[in-house]
Chain A
């Protein structure tokens, strides 16, 4: 057997699809199957590349990877990284995966690197990450309601955004003042996360008044969660702009009807005013079986801080 080498994959290398082979009985929520999908995940991300591979000779035998997200933390630019399901060749020992994960966390999970690593691991990955000092942040919940009868065309004033520019950056800058931590939802992020996403097709709805973007909502059908479920993937509206929020929600419901969805689901932190607002608009709070783990690279950015500080939506689950 060739010697084991564990190393970061460099964005200057050819795409390494061998590290994303299907693995029996292992979940792969985000699995690049083409060069385009691989490039989106590990070369085009405006926050950078986080991919470690273990090789024996020319053969990839393990992979530990994440998708970083530029995140504004108490006004400062940092990164969080969404750890993906790990992969291990079926004939390789678990110790190889542990060593690969350890090398990844040492390289990126430090105060100079990603401030927070997070994910929704299951089974072997969850045990591995708990051993690497990940802790439970929450059992993820969804706000969901029936789509109901109504129009399947966008309401007046709501349109699909096809380009993202300074107006997006301004909207995010205004909203972010309400949060101590949030993914930087600027034009570069929105282009990468939604417009150029090779895994899913999203509809980004916006409400524009003059030159001002008053809010946006991102929708797609999410059959991988439940048949005929529409997903409110992201939501950015200035708190208090009731007209914008009502019109954007109408628009999202119209998209869901057009797709034949019977229910619509999204997620906000329970402390957010949007959580209560959506409950008043007919959404109900449902638990899920998905457990979110986090690992703060600095002691104070732990579960307790993240629980109260981090604005997150389904968009932060980068496989959705």
Chain B
């Protein structure tokens, strides 16, 4: 690009955060009447402190003004037991006033730069990029980037009085912090799932304990002293309803006693917080999809749809749709 170019497409550099924040708060305030400006602390939590890294491409003027951003929240991941990385595309934006500066939309330009910089199977690259886009971003992304629908994202929800839970020999408790043996539980859990984001203590602590806006509650269940299940919960709004939200779930599928103990704790917590329902989200190919229905959860449509694009020759979207385990906690929705 010549020195007279009105903007440069480049990766985030330390010091860009104030300009990113200014653009984010300016652009999103225009389109969302309920928008609350993001704080620098919230930005730093999202992008600077994520133990999985930082993924941001920007269109920046010579004066340092951010015109467009394509960003992702990376997730260290395991695919067939091998370490790799996914990233959730979030906070993408383009300044409407900058439309006349380029023939190709800035959103597309920074998106392509993002794919080129971070897409792949090498170190520091993401083999899978995914997101839950708004309609306008999907319509551009499917034409000009590589967005492809993985599935319509339905939710599982149960009215608390309809929850059917046989008694469990186990009882869940609420520790003040993530248990020290979280990594061992995750290792056992990961062994039964072919593709999932890492849920080790460092990642969960960042995602839930250090979250700058929400307070999440932890439920843990033990058998003979060993941690056999972990759930993350909070009361909150999801898909235009205020429910008790099961945000993350690390329970081996065969352990019905652990599942029942945690669901009983979740129901009691939701009830105590005045919620009428318990709501969660899984891939419909996860074993929890059917297991939760057996306990009274029902499948409901949401407005969300999951799109992704894979950079792996071996693991295309068909494979990922079958095998990728994710929860509400993988997303930025709760």
Contacts and interface: CB of A to CB of B under 8 A. Distances in A.
A276 B298 contact: yes
B138 A287 contact: no
Interface in A246-303: 269-271, 275-276, 279-280, 284-287, 289, 291, 302-303
Contacts of B318: 291
B151 A138 contact: yes
Contact of B301 (A135, A136, A270, A303): A270
Q: How large is the interface on B (under 10, 10 to 19, 20 to 34, 35 or more residues)?
A: 20 to 34
Contacts of B293: 279, 284-285
Interface string B164-179: 0000000000000000
Given A284-B293, A285-B293, A286-B290, A135 B142 contact: yes
Nearest to B290: A284
Contacts of B284: 139, 141, 285, 287
B289 interface: yes
A270 B300 contact: yes
A269 B301 contact: yes
B285 A287 contact: yes
Given A139-B284, A304-B138, A285 B149 contact: no
B148 A136 contact: yes
Q: Is the interface of B mostly helix, strand, loop or mixed?
A: mixed
Given A285-B293, A287-B285, A302-B139, A135 B299 contact: no
B257 to A, nearest CB: 22
A275 B300 CA distance: 8
A141 B321 CA distance: 13
B301 A287 contact: no
A276 B152 contact: no
Contacts of B150: 139
B135 interface: yes
B154 interface: yes
B152 A307 contact: yes
Contacts of B138: 304
Given A279-B299, A287-B284, A304-B138, A139 B290 contact: no
A276 B150 CA distance: 23
A135 B149 contact: yes
Interface in B298-334: 298-301, 305, 318, 321-322
Contacts of B285: 287
A276 B305 contact: no
Contacts of A285: 154, 284, 289, 293, 299
Which 7 pairs across A and B sit closest by C-beta, in order of nearness?
A: A136-B149, A270-B301, A285-B299, A287-B284, A271-B301, A279-B298, A284-B293
22 contacts: A136-B148, A137-B149, A138-B151, A139-B284, A141-B284, A270-B300, A270-B301, A275-B301, A280-B298, A284-B293, A284-B294, A285-B154, A285-B293, A285-B299, A286-B290, A287-B285, A287-B289, A289-B322, A291-B318, A303-B305, A304-B138, A307-B152
